[in-house]
């Protein structure tokens, strides 16, 4: 059989690339004669860069030191493809794990803009930016300021970085803003949240970044103030991604907000891989009803169904009924006996899962 192994990351335990290698190893141990292709995927959040790097070995990996979300320097990697497309991942420069401690009001995305500036300096003609895992709720203003935008209060003073400072915004000066590359900017998002309101960036994601109820109110009002001056469409699905970074880059820099899972799948060549496949193996940390709402596994199920390819799923946990579009599913927790056992050695249980799925699909 021709098998495509295309999992998402198992967050906190295995990257998509590691998961793909382990699942493939288990499958081949039971069916050594099969043609197995690895194609790790992502949805625009953490793991986006790794997914591109695995699928595009011709990509050049570069690193630049930029201010992190709390101002301390971080080394942020990005990719330059042969066609001069640059692939950036916000989590590498402005992600929550880079914070010494949460700072929901002062954290910023300046580092992301600095990486974008480095990519443009290197000759990139198109940017693909994975948005996810951000530490801040600054509407992407930090990134835009790294690209030359200036934000002033009512006395003409430059605002400090961070989302809370936007409450004092009176004027936006784009005179020195660097123009976007000629091939445009695509923002890969894995949420449909608008910029503000009860389903917006501050209300839904702010608490994950340390925001208390009063902070959420302040940040939501600050984002609304920014939107009142920047224009654009703050209600566009996905505008609230990465603390509103999607909105800011779309409204001020003309970037396009696109669904991460399907866009990445297209860019790394999933449609072509499925065209010649008999089976696709996928997986994620938890497979449940939310997996079918625009995430990697759900998007892959749709693509595989259209291509007439059987799908098998390995997940850390399988919750709820498995849809009929899945030919076989296996839970690492059930194989290991407990959640802790599965998390303590995910590679072992992913290999085991690959073998179990090979046997189940061979019997059908």
pLDDT of res. 358: 97
pTM of the model: 0.89
Q: What is the mean pLDDT of residues 327-339?
A: 96
- pLDDT tier at 232, thresholds 50, 70, 90: very high
Domain boundary among 227, 261, 295: 261
268-302 tens-digit pLDDT: 899 999 998 999 999 999 998 878 877 899 999 99
Q: Mark whether 71 and 31 lie in a shared domain.
A: no
The number of distinct structural domains making up the chain is 2
Q: Mark whether 21 and 147 lie in a shared domain.
A: no
Q: Mark whether 74 and 109 lie in a shared domain.
A: yes
pLDDT of res. 112: 98
Q: What is the mean pLDDT of residues 296-310?
A: 94
Q: Mark whether 116 and 157 lie in a shared domain.
A: yes
The domain that holds 349 is classified in CATH as 3.40.50.10350
Q: Mark whether 143 and 206 lie in a shared domain.
A: yes
150-164 tens-digit pLDDT: 999 999 999 999 999
Q: Mark whether 280 and 351 lie in a shared domain.
A: yes
Strand-pair category, 328-331 with 310-318:
parallel
pLDDT of res. 11: 81
Q: Mark whether 24 and 93 lie in a shared domain.
A: no
- Beta bridge partner(s), residue 258: 188
Q: Mark whether 206 and 180 lie in a shared domain.
A: yes
234-265 tens-digit pLDDT: 999 999 999 999 999 999 999 999 999 999 99
Q: Mark whether 354 and 307 lie in a shared domain.
A: yes
Range of lowest pLDDT (8-17, 120-129, 198-207) = 8-17
- Beta bridge partner(s), residue 259: 189
* Residues spanned by the domain of 146: 48-261
Q: What is the mean pLDDT of residues 317-342?
A: 94
> Percent of the chain having pLDDT more than 90?
89
Domain boundary among 241, 261, 281: 261
């Amino acid at each position: 059989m021709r098998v495509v192994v295309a999992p998402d990351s198992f967050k906190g335990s295995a990257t998509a690339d590691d998961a793909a290698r382990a699942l493939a190893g288990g499958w081949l141990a039971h069916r050594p004669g099969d043609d197995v292709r690895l194609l790790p995927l992502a949805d625009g959040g953490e793991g986006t860069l790794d997914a591109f790097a695995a699928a595009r070995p011709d990509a050049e990996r570069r690193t630049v030191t930029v201010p992190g979300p709390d101002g301390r320097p971080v080394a942020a990697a990005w990719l330059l493809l042969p066609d001069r497309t640059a692939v950036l991942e916000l989590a590498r420069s402005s992600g929550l794990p880079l914070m010494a401690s949460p700072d929901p009001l002062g954290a910023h995305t300046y580092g992301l803009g600095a990486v974008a500036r480095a990519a443009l300096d290197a000759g990139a003609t198109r940017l693909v930016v994975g948005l996810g895992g951000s530490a801040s709720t600054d509407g992407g203003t930090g990134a835009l300021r790294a690209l030359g935008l200036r934000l002033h209060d009512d006395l003409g003073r430059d605002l400090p970085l961070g989302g809370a400072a936007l409450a004092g915004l009176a004027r936006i000066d784009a005179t020195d803003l660097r123009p976007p590359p000629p091939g445009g900017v695509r923002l890969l998002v894995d949420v449909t949240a608008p910029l503000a309101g009860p389903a917006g960036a501050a209300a839904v994601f702010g608490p994950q970044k340390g925001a208390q109820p009063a902070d959420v109110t302040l940040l939501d009002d600050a984002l609304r103030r920014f939107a009142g001056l920047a224009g654009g469409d703050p209600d566009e699905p996905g505008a609230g991604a990465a603390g509103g970074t999607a909105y800011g880059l779309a409204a001020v820099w003309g970037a396009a907000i696109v669904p991460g899972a399907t866009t990445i799948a297209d860019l790394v060549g999933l449609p072509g891989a499925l065209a010649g496949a008999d089976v696709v193996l996928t997986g994620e940390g938890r497979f449940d009803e939310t997996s079918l709402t625009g995430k990697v596994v759900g998007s892959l199920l749709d693509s595989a169904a259209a291509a007439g390819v059987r799908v098998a799923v390995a997940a850390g946990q399988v919750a709820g009924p498995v849809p009929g579009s899945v030919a076989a599913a296996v839970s690492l927790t059930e194989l290991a006996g407990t959640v802790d056992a599965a998390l303590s050695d995910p590679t072992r249980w992913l290999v085991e899962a690959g073998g179990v799925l090979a046997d189940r699909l061979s019997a059908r």
